[in-house]
Chain A
Amino acid sequence: MPERSLLTDEVRAAIGRATDPIRVRLTPRVVARTMDVYLGHHEDVPAEGAEAPGFAIAGLETESGSLELMDLMPNTLLISNEWTFERPLIVGEEFEARTVLADISERFGGQFGYSLTVRTEVTFTDTTGAIAARGARTMMQYDAAGSRASEEAT
């Protein structure tokens, strides 16, 4: 366990840092690939202009760029992730994707010892300027050597 907080002013200052906006498109190919992942097939891929399965957002997330996050601890663990939709996504739509470092917090003690929790969020804004969907991921950085529960790690 570190002798003092790793959540320095420099680290806190990174909260709010964002990627440059990236234009992404929900093509039938992207939808088909996500269908392969989640359904095991890509039969009956919706045509351009039709409603896409919401899980197709996973194919947009991977095209959305990523923040270079500071590795302050040796091990990383996914704590949670989520998708939020303001409306169904449409095959063929273009979005502006932007990923932001939403929060960093720390915890002393507990089964993982000292740990840092890092939340990133990606927003998908449509061509009218409205947010259509969001993705978020919360990762924990920790030191497995100081953990009492490495068997709990995902």
Chain B
Amino acid sequence: MISIAALREGDELPPLELRPGLGQVIRFCALNWNFPEAFYDPEAARAQGMPGTIVPGPLKLGLIYTAIERWLDGGGWIRQVRAAHRRPDLTARPIVITGRVARVYEEHGRSRADLEIVVINEKGEPSVRGFAVVESR
């Protein structure tokens, strides 16, 4: 379990490799009842200039959330998570969620930490730049 008060600037989150597949993308589309073809139809994706179907950006925000929550392991909770989408990630291709502690501070009597998050695609390129704030319980 992470102790937020014990974190230090520069501490790294363990990289988490994920491979969001078509089934996960379709479950996300079903949750939102919104089915853009580029998310599940390779031909439609190619017609939009993509090499294949892509992972919805909002799904990646939730994956970042789960990666942080897994790292916290009950030692805190997530007050904020943001994702700035830089390039598409292809369905069923590996992505790695990485992060580091940018700042540790006290607010309203609780320990907080700001996290810088980066999602890296299989070419080693950042596809998402993220930010999160976690707080002790």
Min distance, Cβ B63 to any Cβ of chain A, angstroms: 7
A79 to B85, CA, bound (A): 5
Interface string of B24-43 (1 = CB under 8 A from A): 10011011111000000000
A81-116: which have CB < 8 Å to B? Answer: 81-86, 88
> Which residues of B lie under 8 Å from residue A137 when comparing CB positions?
58
A133 to B42, CA, bound (A): 36
Given contacts A54-B65, A55-B66, A151-B49, contact A37 B79 (CB under 8 A): no
- Residue in A62, A81, A144 whose CB lies within 8 Å of B31: A62
Contact A80–B82 (Cβ < 8 Å): yes
A151 to B127, CA, bound (A): 12
Instruction: Tell me the interface secondary structure of chain A in the complex.
Output: mixed
A127 within 8 A of B: no
B81 within 8 A of A: yes
A33 to B29, CA, bound (A): 11
Interface size on B, residues (CB 8 A): 34
Interface residues on A, range: 20 to 34
- Residue in A58, A62, A80, A154 whose CB lies within 8 Å of B88: A154
Min distance, Cβ B61 to any Cβ of chain A, angstroms: 5
Contact B85–A82 (Cβ < 8 Å): no
Contact B33–A62 (Cβ < 8 Å): yes
Min distance, Cβ A130 to any Cβ of chain B, angstroms: 15
> Which residues of B lie under 8 Å from residue A37 when comparing CB positions?
24, 27-28, 31, 59, 62
B57 within 8 A of A: yes
A86 to B81, CA, bound (A): 12
B: residues with CB less than 8 A from A are 24, 27-28, 30-34, 48-50, 54, 56-59, 61-63, 65-66, 69, 77-88
- A selection of 25 A-B contacts at a CB cut-off of 8 Å is A37-B24, A38-B63, A39-B66, A40-B24, A54-B69, A59-B31, A61-B32, A62-B31, A62-B32, A78-B57, A80-B84, A80-B85, A81-B58, A81-B82, A82-B81, A83-B61, A83-B65, A84-B80, A85-B80, A137-B58, A150-B49, A151-B87, A154-B54, A154-B85, A154-B88
